[in-house]
Amino acid sequence: MSSIAKERAQASRAYLKAAVADGGGVRTSTSLLLLDSVAAIGFAAGLAGGVVAVPHGVGAMLPWVLLAGVSASGRGACAMLAAHVGAGGAYRAKTWLRRRIVEAALHRAPGSDATTGTLMSAAVDEVDAIDGYVARFLPARMAASIAPLIVLAATAVASPIAAAILVATFFPFLAAMILAGGAAADASRRQFVALARLSGLFADRIGALPVVLAFRAEGREAAALGDASEDLARRTMQVLRIAFLSSGALEFFAALSVALVAVYAGFNLLGLLPFPVPETLDLGRAFFVLALAPEFYAPMRRLASAYHDRQAAETAAERLADVESAKAAPPPAVPVWSGVAPTIRFDSVSIRYDGQDCAAVSDLSFEAYPGMIVALIGPSGSGKSSLLNLLLGIAPLSEGCITICTPSPLPEREGPGVGRLPHYPSSAAKIGQPTPNPSLSGRGEDAVLDLAEIGSIAPIAAWMGQSPLILAGTIGSNIALADPTASAERIAEVARVAGLSPMLLARGGLGAVIDARGSGLSGGERRRIALARALLKPAPVLLLDEPTAHIDADSEARLIEAIARACVRRTTIIATHSARLAAIADVVIDLGERP
């Protein structure tokens, strides 16, 4: 294995360790597994006692049988409780880790090349992959280092020589495990990688299915996939031949220890041992050590069967660590904003995402003035949404400069095109006119902020996109997300302005409950909720991303009217495909037509 791969494996192991550090439960679960070994000793003792008591009749056997019966049930209870406790630990570890991953995903650095799809599989499937690691592997590993010693001690009490036999089989076992196990682990790691590559191949071909179909190559591609699969199967079998050797060694020494203990105890009882031993066994002790012998290797067998869990978790940990490392640092400077509509100036702006050869937007310059609507149009992929995301720190500013000029909020500056917010005469006061404001030190002069320094204009922006966020709650609470302090009257007003009245009538008002899936809200209704939010937040900048996509022409016309009202006296930038929506703009910038 190359050193890079080894380093990666070590890094993912370290990450995994940290990630499940406060998963808890492992110790309790381990203790239960150790209790299981103790109960196994009880069962062996009960069985041995029962066999010894056979000549004395059933009455003499009963106490021993009772001991064995209770011990057997105890073993079952321990195993079951260990599963329960392990599941509890996995619950805590998974929910905790998932919170971290979701947080990292929502705060990912601008320009990270992670898509919603890869983030989703990290947050859901890869977090789930640590389940078995926490619930089974960790307790099994701790138990495997202690439980054999317990069994050994109990064996030694009855027969030190039998204990010595167990130890004697253990050393060659260890040697075999180090030899075969290392090779097996390496081989199975390669195997894991090969399987991942095959999955990747399937993903690639399914992703490109339209092309495969259009060129009528489905038969050829299926045959190629078949070859790749057969090849993988063949190589896997070669790997397994080695990998199973280590489990074969485990199996062999487990069987050998039983056989050696049985033969030794038998010869000792017969007094026919060819060499002198310092102990003379009786039936009870001999039977006890025989019944206990398989328990010596049982914890290691449990560990071996949980090995796959560890591998799955380590593979997942690698990707989870990537997601967490892509988390954005908090913005360097947090300015205090005024409530006055600013001028946003784009100066030779380029946006280039990580891992992309082409810039999404290159060398774009324009200015959006207060009270003005700028429409960005152009084919899909021409960077309309990227420009809006750029303002919120979600897309990376690769080149150029964006400045936000806030006019001083003095009364004489008010006039056409420059003004306070709609519907909210006291809005500036409400969002807090800062005193003193470091970025607005010279009162009466324009404050100029550089987006590269402040990271985002989110605090002064309202947003309406094509897939609005709908959280479980009521329609009112969903609108109130934009401003939790808003009064009920205010929410009702913006809902009316956004054109939600017919829907509210039908559903029974703002208190109508909606679930996380939106309870059958139509695309237009979701958009109106987003618009109501944008109206509710007293923000001087309004950003709209495809606000009228997915809805029919009539709804679009009505929505455009409402949007036009929302834009009054704000600085508005709209990304759209819709010619009708672009028609309300003062300036239209076609990103597709640019050279």
Q: Which of 28, 577, 587, 588 binds other proteins (CB under 8 A)?
A: 577
For residues 92 and 413, which CB has a smaller minimum distance to other proteins in the complex? 92
Nearer to other proteins, 14 or 120 (CB): 120
Site track 535-554 with other proteins (rule: CB under 8 A), x = hit:
--x-x---x-x---xx----
Count of residues of this chain found to bind other proteins when the rule CB under 8 A is applied: 160
Q: CB 274: neighbour CB atoms within 10 A? A: 5
Which residues inside 167-186 make contact with other proteins, applying CB under 8 A? none
- Which of 247, 251, 20 lies closest to 138 in space, CA to CA? 20
Structure tokens at 204: 């690639």
Residues 222-251 contacting other proteins, CB under 8 A: 222-223, 225-226, 229-230, 232-233, 236-237, 240-241, 244-245, 247-248, 251
Which residue, 282 or 445, is less far from other proteins as judged by CB?
282
**How far is the C-alpha of 26 from the C-alpha of 139, rounded, in Å?**
5
Which among 9-17, 142-150, 203-211, 491-499 is the span making contact with other proteins, rule CB under 8 A?
Answer: 203-211
User: Contacting other proteins (CB under 8 A), which of 219, 332, 411, 416?
Assistant: 219
Strand (E) or helix (H) holding 263: helix 218-270
CA 376 to chain centre: 34
Q: Which stretch binds other proteins (CB under 8 A): 12-20, 72-80, 316-324, 420-428?
A: 72-80
Q: What share of the chain is helix, strand, coil (3-state, %, to 5)?
A: 60, 10, 30
Buried b (16+ CB within 10 A) or exposed e, 35-70: bbbbbbbbbbbbbbbbbbbeeeeeeebeebeebbee
Q: Closest distance between other proteins and the C-beta of residue 547, in Å?
A: 12
Contact 289, 159 (CB under 8 A): yes
Pick from 19, 20, 34, 90 the residue near other proteins by CB under 8 A: 90
Of 153 and 203, nearer to other proteins (C-beta) is 203
Please identify which residue in 4, 272, 505, 506 interacts with other proteins, judged by CB under 8 A.
Answer: 272
When binding is defined by CB under 8 A, the residue of 26, 94, 492, 500 that contacts other proteins is 94
Site string for other proteins, 495-514 (x = CB under 8 A): --------------------
Tokens of 330: 């908090």
Whether omega for the bond prior to residue 160 falls within 30 degrees of 0, making it cis, is no
Report 295-314 residues binding other proteins (CB under 8 A): none
Q: Which C-beta is closer to other proteins: that of 81 or that of 336?
A: 81
Contacts of other proteins in 29-68 (CB under 8 A): 43, 46-47, 50-52, 54-55, 57-58, 61, 65, 68
Long-range contacts of 214-221 (CB under 8 A, 24+ apart): none
Binders in 465-484 for other proteins, by CB under 8 A? 465, 467-472, 481-483
What does the alpha-carbon distance between residue 217 and residue 213 come to, in Å, rounded to a whole number? 6
Residue 283 binding other proteins, by CB under 8 A? yes
Those residues with Cβ within 8 angstroms of residue 379's Cβ, 6 or more apart along the chain or in another chain: 592
Report helix, strand or coil for 129: coil
Site for other proteins in 391-430 (CB under 8 A): 392-394
Q: Which is nearer to other proteins, 8 or 13 (CB)?
A: 8
336 binds other proteins (CB under 8 A): no
**Could you identify the residue written with the tokens 């401003």?**
483
What's the count of helices (H) and strands (E) in the chain, helices before strands? 22, 11
Q: How far is CA 196 from CA 114, 189, 201, 229, 571, in A?
A: 18, 11, 9, 12, 49
583 binds other proteins (CB under 8 A): no
Site for other proteins, residues 362 to 391, rule: CB under 8 A: 377-380, 388-389
